Amino acid sequence: MTWATNPLFTPGEPDEKKDATDVEARLQHDSGNTTDLTTSKSDEWAFKTPTDHLTRRQAVYLFVLDGIVSGLIGAGINFGIAYATYHTQDAVRLFVLPNALAADTGFTLLAQFIITWWAECFVVGWHLRTGVVPSIGFFREPKSRFMRWYFYLDDKQPQELRGFKPWFSLFFGNAIRSLILLAIFFPVVFGATIGFLTLVGTRRGAEWYYDVVFAPQIFKLVFGIVVGSICTPPMAAFFLVRCGWIMKAREGAGGMQSVEEISSTEA
């Protein structure tokens, strides 16, 4: 995982000793091939220049590839879980445990946010490194301590994750950030969901009841689509924006070039 997409790494001085070691190792590995021997592995990735506006490619990536596709995947998983959970139950209610759709909604939001954020960390990182999508470069880098902490802009960490501690920090740190984003979405999504469920349920006293066979499965199917489509794009944008800030910082310090800059230099 390279500097631009590893959330634990921020811009720093190039490691000249490591670069020299890499070049020497490549010379020993293939003494007959002298093409681009001074280019480190991180420079071989096809990073694109950060954009100064939201491009069509970025919009399609965020709202179609990330939003809709994530929604469909979430819908399938939620539907399968709902079918396995509810089809053998005697009753499905809104608030009273067990088999309460309100509790299921809260747990699903928690699990889907954390899992989706982790997935986006690696998927978007790979797409940035391979040039599938350029990073976003039209936002100003934040100055507040909280925002710089949230976007991993001040933590000095190694470029590679080796050992248990860096990987634990990676997963724990991203989980915390996904929960912060969840805190923003939760009141709106949870409130709207409960309101909708009161409209489609059968009220008996202070509780609402639902058909065991169809209602929870269809609900979780639709819920997965909505949550995935709405909440995944901001997660993907987090890594696109952060990568843009770090690429600009590294380029300004004479660090890693984008694929466009490398191509123009070779030409």
The pTM of the full predicted model, rounded to 2 decimals, is 0.78
By residue count, the chain amounts to 267
Overall average pLDDT of the 176-193 stretch: 95
Q: Is the pLDDT of residue 93 over 70?
A: yes
What span, in angstroms and rounded, lies between the C-alpha atoms of 50 and 121?
18
pLDDT band at residue 265 using 50, 70 and 90 as cut-offs: very low
Q: Is the pLDDT of residue 12 over 60?
A: no
pLDDT band at residue 233 using 50, 70 and 90 as cut-offs: very high
The pLDDT tens digits for 200-230 are 999 998 999 998 888 899 999 999 999 999 9
**Two tokens, residue 258:** 């984008």
Angle at alpha carbon of residue 249, lines to 248 and 254, rounded to 5°: 95
- Which pLDDT score is estimated for 186? 96
> What percent of the chain is modeled with pLDDT above 70?
74
Q: Is the pLDDT of residue 3 over 50?
A: no
pLDDT band at residue 99 using 50, 70 and 90 as cut-offs: confident
Strands laid side by side in the 207-210 sheet: 92-93, 207-210, 202-204
What span, in angstroms and rounded, lies between the C-alpha atoms of 6 and 150?
14
pLDDT band at residue 176 using 50, 70 and 90 as cut-offs: very high
The pLDDT tens digits for 110-131 are 999 999 999 999 899 999 988 9
Name the residue with higher pLDDT: 54 or 267.
54
Q: Is the pLDDT of residue 264 over 70?
A: no
